[in-house]
Amino acid sequence: LARLLERLAAEGLDSLYRGEAAADLVAHVQASGGVLTLDDLADYTPRETEPLSLSFGAYTIHTSPLPTGGAVLAQAIKTLDGLDLARLWSEKLPYYHAVALALQSTWADQLTRLGDPTETAIALDRILSDEHTTRMRHRIEHLVHTASVLHGPEVIGLPGGTVHIAVADPEGNLAALTLTHGNPFGSGLSVPGGGTLVAGGMGYFERAPGRPNSVGPRKRPLYPACPTLVMKEECPLLLLGGIGGRKAASAVVQALLHYCALRHPVDDSLCLPRLHTDGSLTLCVDPGLPRPASDYLRAVGYLLESGEAGALFALMRDPDSGLFTGVVDPRATGLAVGI
């Protein structure tokens, strides 16, 4: 790995796509039965995009656009924004029910309607429209009132092999970065002498053909990461991101609900119990979720699985002093460091 980094420092990143590092990667993939070619690497071009931005109360949220999980975040927040979240939270059981329904609806939309933004931008505009999110909100209000559930599609879950970094420099520049191998060990291939694992990003595509997220030439698959910046009156307040596959986006949504709508401190917003669903009736719930809430969700029709519903990392900026504080979710194996 050290030799690879030295090579990149000397030759530039182009070495990964056209140089010796690219040739080593392609040779090993092909020897292992893969179909990657040097032309595939040379043809790759990163996309520089604008963030997906929305208002949430007094805050402005900037998150990553398609094909990332920022679409889930934006749709869930827009849908829940019109509810009386403070009242629901005071009653607890309806709050968890409403959040479960919102996540269920948004993940169902994401996994059936969205994919590479060059092909699904119109679909994204539709699911983020006021008309669609208002219709979702009214349906959630009805289902919460009647203690009912939304029957969604069964989907294949994603493994976690992700890291998230949130950093600030002395000049106040901020960066949030979420990286993943797909599985904890990616594709299971390691290039001899290369010092790296080969990621398993193809696993994020739909296996069936003819769907928005199916495999296709030059397509980027849906990827659930959503590094996020929260601002108030043009001032950055919170840099946030998570790990855990699709659970990461659901976790960021719930942290923003606690921080922006319920006015909880950042550390509480990251630590409070959470839940996750990929769009089906199966809920992954934190072991710390109150027993009455678990019993209630089970009674209305959800299937509960106990487990960590994602893990978060955040960088909070004090608007008065300008000082930054790192906050690490206790579910995560991470740390906050000042240099």
* CATH code, residues 52-157+223-328: 1.10.246.130
* Amino acid at the residue 112: T
Mean pLDDT of 280-296: 93
Beta bridge partners, 232, equal: 235
Query: What pLDDT score was predicted for residue 194?
Result: 75
Q: For residues 1 and 3, give the distance between their C-alpha atoms in angstroms, rounded to a whole number.
A: 5
Query: What pLDDT score was predicted for residue 265?
Result: 94
Q: Is the pLDDT of residue 159 over 60?
A: no
Tokens 């678990």, residue? 294
pLDDT class of 298 with cuts at 50, 70, 90: very high
| Domain boundaries, given as residue ranges, for the chain | 1-46, 52-157+223-328
Write down the mean pLDDT value for the chain.
89
**Candidate ranges 98-102, 143-147, 177-181, 214-218; pick with highest mean pLDDT:** 98-102
pLDDT class of 66 with cuts at 50, 70, 90: very high
Residues 312, 67, 75, 99: is their CA dihedral positive or negative? negative
Q: For residues 259 and 236, give the distance between their C-alpha atoms in angstroms, rounded to a whole number.
A: 14
Q: For residues 32 and 217, give the distance between their C-alpha atoms in angstroms, rounded to a whole number.
A: 22
Q: Is the pLDDT of residue 10 over 70?
A: yes
Query: What pLDDT score was predicted for residue 336?
Result: 78
Nearest residue to 288 (alpha-carbon basis) of 228, 242, 329: 329
Instruction: Give the C-alpha distances (Å, rounded to integers) separating 222 from 44, 204, 208, 226.
Output: 17, 6, 14, 11
Query: What pLDDT score was predicted for residue 161?
Result: 63
Query: What pLDDT score was predicted for residue 157?
Result: 53
Do 240 and 166 meet the contact criterion of CB atoms below 8 Å apart?
yes
Query: What pLDDT score was predicted for residue 278?
Result: 87
